[in-house]
C-alpha cells in the first residue's frame, strides 16, 4: 500500500501522522502494523503519554484513542485535547469494545469524529482513517484559503484607506496652496483634535459619541476644515493687512462654501460616508463660539456639533502659535492663557479643561510639525 500524502495547515505536503493510544500492547501492535505502511505512526500506552505526544513534533493529524484505560480514560484524554487550543482541532476516533449507544453519544458530545469497535476489522479501520484524514485535509485547505482571503481583504482595505487619506490630504493641500502661510497647519490641527477627543472619550458629556471608530473618522476629516477657502478671492485670502468689513464678510463665507462642497461629495456617494458627515460639521461650524457670537449661524453651547467645538480650539491655538506676515508666533504659555480666558465664551468649558490636561501633548505636536521659520 502506498503512503497517503496530506496537506498540512502550513501548506506543506507530507505523510500523515497518526497517534494510536491503547493501554494493551497487543492492540497497539496490531494497529501500528496495520497503519505503518501508509502513515507515520506514533504510539502511547496511557492517557498522559498521549497528551505529551499530541503536543510534540510531528503533531498528529489524527488520533485513534482507546476508551477504557486506567488512570485517565479516553473521555478524559479527549476532554484535555479539546481544552487545549494546540490540539483542539485534531480529529479523534474512539477505538473501543464498548457498544452502548449512551457511550457513543458521550464520545460524540465531547468531540469525537467516529467510533471503531473492537475486535477491529482492518478494511474498516483503513477506510475510516482515510475518510477522516481527507476531511481534515479539506478543513485545513479551507482554513488556509480563508486566511489567504482575509489577508487579501485586509491588504485591499488598507490600500483603500491609504488612498482615502491621501485624497483627503490632497484636498486639504489644495486649500493650503491658496494660503501658503499655513504650512503644517493641517497636521497639527488634526493631531490636536485627536488628542482632545481621546481625553474626552470618558467624559459623560462626550463618551457616547467619542468611540474609537468615531475618533478615527474625526481625525480623518479634520484636515478638510478650511477646504472652503479655495472659494475666497486671492485679494482677500492673501491680503497681508487687516480686512475691511466688506472683505471680512466674504472671508467668513469659506465655512459655508466648505460645507456645501462636502455635501455635494456626499450626494455623489452610493451610501453615507461617516467621515464626510463629520467633515461637513467641522467645515461649517468650526468658527462658532460657545456664547453664540461666532459665525456663520450664531450657534451657541451644545447646539454646536462636538467635532466643530474641538476644531475651534485646535484652530485658534495653532493660529496663535504660528507666524504670520502680520505677527510673530506666540509663545505656547501665552497662547494657553488666551485659550483659558475664552473658556465659556469662545470655547466649550469642557474642551478647554481637556486642552489644559493635554497641553504638553499640544506642545509636542507643535514641535513635531513645526514650520520652517
**Residues 81, 84, 88: CA angle, nearest 5 degrees:** 60
Within a domain: 154:
no
Virtual torsion, Cα 58, 59, 62, 68, nearest 10 deg: 110
Q: Rounded distance, CA 269 to CA 267, Å? A: 5
Closest Cα partner for 46 from 23, 28, 30? 23
Q: For residues 99 and 197, which has the higher predicted lDDT (pLDDT)?
A: 197
Q: What pTM does this model have?
A: 0.58
| SS3 state at 203 | coil
Q: Rounded distance, CA 107 to CA 87, Å? A: 17
What confidence tens digit (pLDDT) does each residue in 154-196 have?
Answer: 777 766 666 666 566 556 666 665 555 555 888 899 999 999 9
Q: Rounded distance, CA 54 to CA 147, Å? A: 24
Q: How many separate domains does the chain show?
A: 2
Mention every residue, 6+ apart, whose C-beta is less than 8 A from residue 164: 220
What is the reported pLDDT for 53? 93
Q: Rounded distance, CA 181 to CA 323, Å? A: 8
The whole domain housing 130 covers 5-149
Within a domain: 75:
yes
Q: For residues 318 and 6, which has the higher predicted lDDT (pLDDT)?
A: 318
Within a domain: 155:
no
Q: Are residues 341 and 204 in the same domain?
A: yes
Q: Are residues 69 and 201 in the same domain?
A: no
Q: What is the CATH number of the domain that holds 334?
A: 1.10.3210.10
Is pLDDT at 135 greater than 50 in this prediction? yes
The distance of Cα 20 from the centroid of its chain, to the nearest Å, equals 43
Closest Cα partner for 57 from 78, 34, 40, 77? 40
Among residues 131, 149, 167, the one where a domain terminates is 149
Q: For residues 175 and 16, which has the higher predicted lDDT (pLDDT)?
A: 16
**How do 62-66 and 17-21 pair as beta strands?**
parallel
Q: Are residues 68 and 187 in the same domain?
A: no
Q: What is the CATH number of the domain that holds 52?
A: 3.40.50.2300
Per-residue pLDDT band at 102 (split at 50, 70, 90): confident
Question: What value does the CA radius of gyration of the chain take, rounded to a whole number of Å?
Answer: 34
Within a domain: 25:
yes
What confidence tens digit (pLDDT) does each residue in 111-133 have?
Answer: 888 988 888 899 989 999 999 99
Structural element, H or E, at residue 325: none
Give the torsion sign (CA, 348, 353, 359, 365): negative
Structural element, H or E, at residue 130: helix 122-178
Q: Phi, psi (5° rounding) for residue 232?
A: -95, 130
Closest Cα partner for 50 from 26, 69, 29, 27? 69
Contact (CB, 8 A) for 206 and 350: yes
Among residues 100, 132, 149, the one where a domain terminates is 149
Q: Are residues 224 and 122 in the same domain?
A: no
Helices (H), 179-226: 185-200, 212-221
Within a domain: 158:
no
Amino acid at each position: 500500500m502506498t503512503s497517503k500524502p496530506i496537506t498540512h495547515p502550513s501548506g506543506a505536503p507530507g505523510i500523515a501522522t497518526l497517534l494510536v493510544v491503547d493501554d494493551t500492547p497487543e492492540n497497539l501492535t496490531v494497529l501500528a502494523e496495520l497503519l505503518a505502511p501508509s502513515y507515520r505512526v506514533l504510539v502511547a500506552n496511557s492517557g498522559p503519554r498521549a497528551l505529551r505526544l499530541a503536543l510534540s513534533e510531528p503533531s498528529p493529524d489524527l488520533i485513534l484513542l482507546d476508551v477504557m484505560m486506567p488512570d485517565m480514560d479516553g473521555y478524559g484524554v479527549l476532554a484535555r485535547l479539546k481544552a487545549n487550543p494546540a490540539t483542539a482541532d485534531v480529529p479523534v476516533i474512539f477505538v473501543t469494545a464498548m457498544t452502548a449507544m449512551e457511550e457513543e453519544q458521550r464520545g460524540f458530545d465531547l468531540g469525537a469524529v467516529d467510533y471503531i469497535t473492537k475486535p477491529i476489522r482492518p478494511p474498516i479501520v483503513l477506510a475510516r482513517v482515510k475518510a477522516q484524514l481527507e476531511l481534515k485535509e479539506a478543513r485545513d485547505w479551507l482554513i488556509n484559503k480563508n486566511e489567504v482571503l482575509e489577508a487579501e481583504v485586509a491588504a485591499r482595505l488598507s490600500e483603500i484607506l491609504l488612498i482615502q487619506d491621501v485624497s483627503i490630504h490632497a484636498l486639504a493641500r489644495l486649500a493650503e496652496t491658496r494660503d501658503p502661510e499655513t504650512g503644517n497647519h493641517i497636521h497639527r490641527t488634526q493631531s490636536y483634535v485627536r488628542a482632545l477627543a481621546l481625553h474626552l472619550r470618558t467624559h459623560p458629556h462626550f463618551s457616547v459619541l467619542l468611540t474609537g471608530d468615531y475618533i478615527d473618522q474625526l481625525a480623518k476629516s479634520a484636515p478638510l476644515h478650511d477646504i472652503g477657502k479655495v472659494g475666497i478671492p486671492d485679494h482677500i485670502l492673501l491680503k497681508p493687512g487687516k480686512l475691511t468689513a466688506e472683505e471680512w464678510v466674504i472671508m467668513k463665507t469659506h465655512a459655508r462654501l466648505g460645507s456645501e462642497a462636502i455635501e455635494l461629495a456626499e450626494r455623489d456617494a452610493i451610501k453615507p460616508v461617516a467621515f464626510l458627515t463629520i467633515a461637513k460639521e467641522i467645515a461649517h461650524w468650526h468658527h462658532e463660539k460657545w456664547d453664540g457670537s461666532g459665525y456663520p449661524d450664531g450657534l451657541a453651547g451644545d447646539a454646536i456639533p462636538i467635532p466643530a467645538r474641538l476644531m475651534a480650539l485646535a484652530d485658534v491655538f495653532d493660529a496663535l502659535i504660528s507666524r504670520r506676515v502680520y505677527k510673530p508666533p506666540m509663545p505656547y504659555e501665552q497662547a494657553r492663557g488666551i485659550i483659558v480666558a475664552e473658556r465659556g465664551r469662545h470655547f466649550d468649558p469642557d474642551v478647554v479643561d481637556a486642552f489644559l490636561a493635554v497641553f504638553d501633548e499640544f506642545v509636542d505636536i507643535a514641535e513635531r510639525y513645526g514650520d520652517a521659520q
